[in-house]
Amino acid sequence: MHRPRFGLIARIAWLVLAIEALAFGALTAVYLDRSRTLMERRIETQLQRVGRMLQEENLPLNAVSTPALMSDLIGLGYQGGFVLGGSGRVIVASDPLLLGKKADEVPGFDPSWLNASVRSGFEAFFAPERLTAVLHVRGPESSAPLYTVVLTFDTAELRAATREVIAWGAALSLAFLLFTSFAIVFVAHRLITRRVQHTLRALKQIEDGALEMRISITATDELGDLQQGINSMTEKLAATIAEQKQAQARIRQLAFYDQLTGLPNRVAILEYLREVLSNDGGSHGALLLFDLDDFKTLNETLGHEAGDELLREVAERLRDGLGGEAQVARVGGDEFLVVLTGLGEDEAEARGRVEALFERLRTLLVQPCRIGHAQLRTTASCGVALFHGARVGLDELLKRAELAMYHAKASGRNRLCFFDEEMARAVRHRAELERDLEQAIEAGQFVLYYQLQVRGPHQAVGAEALIRWPHPERGMISPAEFIPLAEETGLIVPLGRWVLETACRQLVSWASTPETAQLTLSVNVSARQIYQPDFVDQVLEVVEKSGADPRRLKLELTESTLASDIAGVIEKMRLLKQKGIGFALDDFGTGYSSLTYLKRLPLDELKIDQSFVRDVLTDSNDAAIARTIVALAHSLGLEVIAEGVETPEQWKFLAELGCPAYQGYYFARPVPIERFEETLRGFLLVQREIGLPTDSGR
């Protein structure tokens, strides 16, 4: 059960009524008492006058027996009276039956009347319904009363007068009470309640979010102070909420938008894509992953500020090209993700619309843009993964788009590639190969093959150690398949150390025979290996532990190995060369800046790449390159060896160019150590027969 709720004005009204009711009660009591006292005093005055008249004999004693006269003199209804003489008997009475009776025989007589202390005048004894007045009449020199006059009056008129006074007083007081209550309530409403209601309405609007609301202050009293406090609180609250909104907007900006380009970031686009996948509308969608081509090169050549400016320009072009057709986000580095929806139920139609969109975007991207003082053209490779509802999970969809993008890169860049199951199979194969590669290193499944290096047609001068992987289930796996994987995963580091250790042990074995003691052994070194901070220590540790002659060891580097920290590589080469270890530059002529750093490298040998040797007889450009490399090596005082020599015609042509050393199938294939040593013995036998030295070294 709910208690009744009184408003402020009602409470004020009730409070005023309660206070005035108490005041009215107190006032009435006081007024009644005062009225009664005044009336009693008036009656006592009348009685005193009558007493003096009787005392002075201006009024005869027998007037007591005259009711009308006594009523007129006192102003009250006369009930009766009597006079006691000195003998104590009634000598005059309004009731004749009382004449001659003793005082104690008079009905209602009070003996205390005779003991009255009043020397003259009446003494009044008020009872609820009557008034008894006693007068002692004394002589001039007598102390004892000569007569005692007892008068009894009806107080009905007195009570009626009192009630009338009370009624009028109550009426006037009630009227005053109502008037003052109304006046107080009216004033309270004008001065307090209306302002409170105005304040409450303002607070309600503030509660509903109208923080711009301010209460108009019309007085400087306590309520005005309260209203001012509410205004101040509202201003502070509005400022706090504004700051919170700004902070939330900033947090959202940081959480869901890329700070460089202003595009949504990875978190935002994936949340959007998750929502798209959950709302299967029966139509195809597409996830397009763009990756800028050669962006790393631009960053390295023009600097990161130029790269950032290019990213902003690309983002703007993608945004303009897509319009409201799709959502685009920068998901990291130089990668942008586009989500297309509503491509239709037919997959072929969806593919066609994606291809049309890509052509439009590609046209925009290849437009030249000025970055600083440079005018650049950029291209992007794009991988596409189509989806139809939530049949494919989010993570899998991203993997598919990424695989397709890498395939587009590998297929020539600046093109579009759709994901297909062949890519998935290739990924699974790569994952299996990576797992098998790790197990193969632990199980020692790798072997070294050796390919003979000769000077002239018959003199064996060394060999190149080539790693092979005879897989227990798949058979021989090509180095072209597992070496790049080992490079990407970092497994090339332990694998390369194993090759170096095995090669050094083989050098020790050859050193025990005079005919093979001077052979050199070339070992390929990857970029991952040489960029290891302790690469020099690793090589020297292997050489020292094996006991191999460092002068017989030759480390082969590729031009790609030197692409990054060439100064660091040169320093490491210098330290190893001081210990006697030699260096060859493999695949020379296939890189970008060979001549730039060739003179700085502490090399011993250049190797002509087999790509130039293969068509040296039919391609004038390859022949010119081979001739240039041979001449360059001679001018720099370096040895030179040609790889991939497969025919006698190639050998003769290279020999005519001045190339003294060769390696290729024409002389010997890469084979295990047992077969290699058989081939080596054949070469050594020919050397002895024709009188060539067998300890020529390198």
CA distance 688 to 138: 192
**Assigned token pair, 189:** 């409403």
Last residue within a domain, chosen from 106, 131, 163: 163
Q: Is residue 175 part of a domain?
A: no
- 590 and 608 Cβ atoms separated by less than 8 Å: no
- For 654, other C-beta atoms within 10 Å of its C-beta total 25
Q: Give pLDDT tens digits for 383-397.
A: 999 998 778 889 999
Q: Could you list the residue range(s) of the whole structural domain that residue 105 is in? A: 8-163
Task: For residue range 581-618, list pLDDT tens digits in order.
Answer: 999 998 776 655 556 677 888 999 999 999 999 999 99
Q: What is the pLDDT of residues 341-363, one digit of tens each?
A: 988 888 999 999 999 999 999 99
| Segments in 560-619 forming alpha helices (H) | 566-578, 594-598, 610-613
Mean pLDDT value across residues 191-215: 75
Q: 238-242, 260-264, 637-641 — which is least confidently predicted?
A: 238-242
**pLDDT at residue 592 in the model:** 52
Structure tokens at 491: 């497994």
Q: Are 672 and 689 in contact (CB under 8 A)?
A: no
- Higher pLDDT: 516 or 230? It is 516
Domain boundary residue among 118, 141, 163?
163
39 pLDDT above the threshold of 90: no
Q: Could you tell me the two tokens for 440?
A: 């193969």
Cα 625 to Cα 643: distance, rounded to the nearest angstrom = 14
Query: Are residues 535 and 452 part of one domain?
Result: yes
Q: Which phi and psi angles does 468 have, rounded to 5°?
A: -135, 150
The mean pLDDT value for 513-537 works out to 93
User: CA torsion angle for 279, 282, 287, 288 (degrees, to 10)?
Assistant: -140
Q: What is the mean pLDDT of the chain?
A: 85
Q: Per this entry, what is the length of the chain?
A: 698
Indicate the pLDDT class of residue 189, thresholds 50, 70 and 90. low
Average pLDDT over residues 510-539: 94
Q: Which among 419, 452, 473 is the end of a domain?
A: 419
Residues 393 and 540 in one domain: no
| Residue 563 scores a pLDDT above 70 | no
pTM: 0.55
Helix (H, G, I), strand (E, B) or coil at 453: strand
pLDDT band per the 50, 70, 90 thresholds, residue 456 = confident
Report how far residue 555's alpha carbon sits from residue 12's, in angstroms, rounded to the nearest whole number: 104
The sign of the torsion formed by the CA atoms of 167, 172, 174, 175 equals positive
Which regions of 211-311 does DSSP assign to beta strands (E)? 285-292
Query: Over the stretch 655-678, which tens digit does the pLDDT of each residue have?
Result: 999 999 999 999 999 999 999 999
Query: Cα–chain-centroid distance for residue 486?
Result: 40
Same domain (yes/no): 490, 514: yes
Report the DSSP beta bridge partners of residue 285: 387
Which residues are registered as beta bridge partners of 450?
Answer: 465, 671
Q: Lowest-pLDDT range, 123-127, 157-161, 507-511, 694-698?
A: 694-698
Residues 456 and 366 in one domain: no
The answer to whether position 74 is within a domain reads yes
With a CB cutoff of 8 Å and minimum separation 6, the contacts of 608 are 588, 589, 626, 629, 630, 640, 641, 642, 643, 654, 659
CATH number, residue 321:
3.30.70.270
Q: Which CATH number do you get for residue 107?
A: 3.30.450.20
* Same domain as 453, residue 407: no
Residues 474 and 571 in one domain: yes
pLDDT tens-place string over residues 44-62: 787 778 777 877 777 887 8
pLDDT in tens, 372-426: 777 888 899 999 999 987 788 899 999 999 999 998 988 888 999 999 888 888 8
Q: How far apart are CA 136 and CA 144, in angstroms?
A: 9
Task: Give, for 410, the enclosing helix (H) or strand (E).
Answer: helix 394-410
* Paired tokens of 205: 């609007």
Give per-residue pLDDT as tens, 257-285: 999 999 999 999 999 999 888 886 678 99
Choose the weakest-confidence range: 176-180, 268-272, 437-441: 176-180
- Say whether both 414 and 462 belong to one domain: no
Residues 340, 272, single domain; the answer is yes
> What CATH number does the domain containing 556 carry?
3.20.20.450
Rg of the chain over all Cα atoms, to the nearest angstrom: 64
The answer to whether residues 398 and 469 belong to one domain is no
pLDDT at position 605 is: 95
Asked whether residue 350 is domain-assigned, the answer is yes
**What's the pLDDT score for residue 376?**
84
For residue 620, the model assigns a pLDDT of 93
Whether residue 98 is contained in a domain is answered as: yes
> Looking at the structure, do residues 390 and 275 belong to the same domain, yes or no?
yes
Confidence of residue 625 (pLDDT cuts 50, 70, 90): very high
Distance, C-alpha 29 to centroid of its chain: 75
**Of 12, 295, 320, 57, nearest to 181 (Cα)?**
12
DSSP assignment of 625-651 = HHHHHHHHHHHHT-EEEEE---SHHHH
Answer yes or no: is 566 within a domain: yes
Q: Is residue 600 a contact partner of residue 570, using CB atoms and an 8 Å limit?
A: yes
Domain count, the chain: 3
Flag whether pLDDT at 697 surpasses 60. Answer: no
pLDDT the model gives residue 7: 60
Q: Please report the pLDDT score of residue 696 as a whole number.
A: 47
Domain contains 216: no
Tell me what percent of the residues of the chain surpass a pLDDT of 90. 44
131 part of a folded domain = yes
Angle at 276 between CA 274 and CA 279, to 5 degrees: 110
Q: Which one is predicted more confidently, 70 or 549? A: 549
Inter-CA distances, 671 with 467, 479, 607, Å: 10, 14, 20
Task: Quote the CA–CA distance of 698 and 677 in Å, as a whole number.
Answer: 18
Is residue 664, in this structure, part of any structural domain at all? no
Whether residues 444 and 586 share a domain: the answer is yes
Structure token digits, residue 533: 């901070």
Shared domain check, 482 and 406: no
What are 684-693's contacts with CB under 8 Å, separation 24+? 684/460, 684/515, 686/458, 687/458, 687/459, 687/460, 690/458, 692/456, 692/458, 692/459, 693/459
- pLDDT tens sequence across 82-104: 888 877 788 888 888 888 888 78
